[in-house]
A = this chain, B = another copy of it.
Amino acid sequence: MEHSSYDIARLASLIIEFYEKISSWEHATVKGSGLTPAQMHAIEIIGQEKSLRMKELAQKMGVTTGTLTVMVDKLEGLGHLERKPHEKDRRSFKVRLTSKGRRQFNKHRQFHLNLAQDIVADFSSADLKIFLAGLEKINSQF
């Protein structure tokens, strides 16, 4: 479907605005935790996966393993996560959250849920479902 350039420009503009607002919100929210956004991002990904290799985590985060080594060193030092030798592959480590990291993860996820709740607070149930379907379609197209 060929859309009007006006609608497309409006969409681009709304997406940029939305993205920037999320960025600011995330930054401000993370600040209270004493972690940096990048560190929290690592915790979010590890938290969804139980445990994963350095390499896998690097790929999911879109950084090199060299970058990740330093970041995991730091988070391990802070007690949020730990490296365990891989059972099968002696080159590799499995990274996973400690209970401290798990608490941080759960707290942050709750912030996300609260935000999600707030921003659609005045949507009707039907409108929300339509919006969810739209966003899902966009994500699948991306």
Where the two chains meet, the residues of A that have a C-beta atom closer than 8 Å to any C-beta of B are 1, 3, 5, 7-12, 14-19, 21-25, 27, 62, 109, 112-113, 115-125, 127-132, 134-139, 141-142
Q: How many copies does the complex hold?
A: 2
A62 touches B27 (CB 8 A): yes
Q: How far is the CB of A117 from chain B (nearest CB, A)?
A: 5
A21 B117 Cβ-Cβ under 8 A: no
Choice from B62, B113, B128, B138 contacting A120 with Cβ under 8 Å? B138
Please report the C-alpha to C-alpha distance between residue A10 and residue B3 in the assembled complex, in whole angstroms.
28
**A130, B135: Cβ atoms under 8 Å?**
no
Q: Is the pair A134, B141 in contact by a Cβ cutoff of 8 Å?
A: no
- If the complex has contacts A25-B142, A119-B141, A121-B1, are A12 and B112 also in contact, measured as CB distance less than 8 A? yes
Q: In the complex where A24-B62, A123-B1 touch, is A129 in contact with B7 (Cβ < 8 A)?
A: yes
Whether B16 pairs with A112 at a CB distance below 8 angstroms is yes
The distance in angstroms between the C-alpha atoms of A9 and B138, with both chains bound, is 18
Alpha-carbon distance between A23 and B60 when the two chains are bound, in angstroms: 12
In the bound complex, residues from chain B placing their C-beta under 8 Å from that of A12 are 109, 112-113, 115-116
